[in-house]
Amino acid sequence: MQERLTQLSCDDFASKLAAKESVPGGGGAAALAGALGAALGSMVGNFTIGKKKYADVQDDIERMCASAEGIRIRLLDLVQKDAEAFEPLSRAYGIPKEDPMRAQVLEEATLAACQAPLEMMRAICEAIDLLEEMGRKGSRMLLSDVGCGAYLCAAALQAASLNIFVNTATLANRETAQRLDCEVDSMLASYVPLANDVAAQVEAAIRRD
Amino acid sequence: MQERLTQLSCDDFASKLAAKESVPGGGGAAALAGALGAALGSMVGNFTIGKKKYADVQDDIERMCASAEGIRIRLLDLVQKDAEAFEPLSRAYGIPKEDPMRAQVLEEATLAACQAPLEMMRAICEAIDLLEEMGRKGSRMLLSDVGCGAYLCAAALQAASLNIFVNTATLANRETAQRLDCEVDSMLASYVPLANDVAAQVEAAIRRD
């Protein structure tokens, strides 16, 4: 895997996602959607910086912008990391069933394939916290973008979780599987409602009857 | 607006989304996320075609693949269309308040800016219908990708809706505004729960306790 997938154009990435190729797949799409959500948080911050009306939250906004940029870059890197975990897993599934090493190699590759989506989820939770704060402190002119970012991050978090569940289901070590599922469930339980609340508050604020 | 935004690399698109530039914004991010969701539907179909086990649904899968490809391309085109509606709107806001033509120009530009997100929503609803059918008929090996696609489409639909609400709120013609909001609410009410049901069924099917 030499080519960095996120260096593909959006058109080509979407086309490669649609093709009969295993990567990019749902995990890469989740990471990219999360990166878009984090980017929207940055945009709101970047339009807020320097505005007199928001002078008293300037330091907070600058901190959030720096943080959102880091999250965006981590998520774009995770598109690649997720893809790179697929090849060893695919190779492990290809080991003949009678090979005594198959189970162990498959177990290790499956566990390794959980890492990128797990890191995505942690980064997306940080992005959701940022969007929540940006919704309170950022420019009201860009409130709809905060809501869009929150919706995209909620979906990215849920999509990443499926990429963990599908792998933990096949782990022989059930203790490890349950520990992973538990962390995933905990992030979903806290952050999907938070992201949806942020977006619902945006909708209520921008709508007119 | 010469450059096609989706010809930017994913890295650059995300970077431009984060920047202090009005386009791409939440609408463009919504369309791209919807395109990723539709692409995942295609991927599942493309891996299902030609498999003996799914021979009896081959025709349905082929129809769905063709349809999903059309939806993906429409959504990628809408990233651009959404961006192109912004400039006239921004120019209209710049017209001096005392100019007697300001209200009419602004009203028309605002209404025009609703069109791309409305077309996105219609395309994303079609994508969700497809993902629902793909979840029933497509290869079980790629079920998690159906779920990822459904989550991304639900978020894209909701994000696109905010880009309509933020514009209909400022329309002077309240009858038109309410007609648009009504169509948006109707799509949200039918398709967000459908997409979430598809994803929840995927999660239930792939998880192991």
Phi, psi angles (nearest 5°) of residue B2:
-90, -55
Contact A207 B169 (CB under 8 A): yes
Q: Kindly report the pTM of this predicted structure.
A: 0.98
Residue A3 scores a pLDDT above 90: no
For B88, the token pair is 């006239």
As a whole number of angstroms, the distance between CA A97 and CA A94 comes to 8
Domains and CATH numbers, chain B: 23-208 (1.20.120.680)
| Closest among A131, A120, A136, A143 to A41, alpha carbons compared | A131
Contact A43 B20 (CB under 8 A): yes
Extract the residue ranges of chain B whose pLDDT is less than 70.
1-2
Shortest Cα distance from B100 to chain A (angstroms)? 25
Give contacts of A159 with chain B, Cβ < 8 Å.
147-148, 151-152
Neighbours of B18 (CB within 10 A): 24
Average of per-residue pLDDT values in chain B: 97
% residues pLDDT > 90 (chain A): 98
Give how far Cα B189 sits from Cα of A83, B117, B163, B166, Å.
35, 17, 17, 19
Condensed to tens digits (0 to 9), the pLDDT of residues A23-57 reads 999 999 999 999 999 999 999 999 999 999 999 99
Say whether the ipTM exceeds 0.95. Answer: yes
At residue B3, the pLDDT reads 83
Identify from B74, B158, B174, B197 which residue to disrupt to test chain A contact, counting A C-beta atoms within 10 A and taking the largest count.
B158
Condensed to tens digits (0 to 9), the pLDDT of residues A90-149 reads 999 999 999 999 999 999 999 999 999 999 999 999 999 999 999 999 999 999 999 999
At residue B2, the pLDDT reads 59
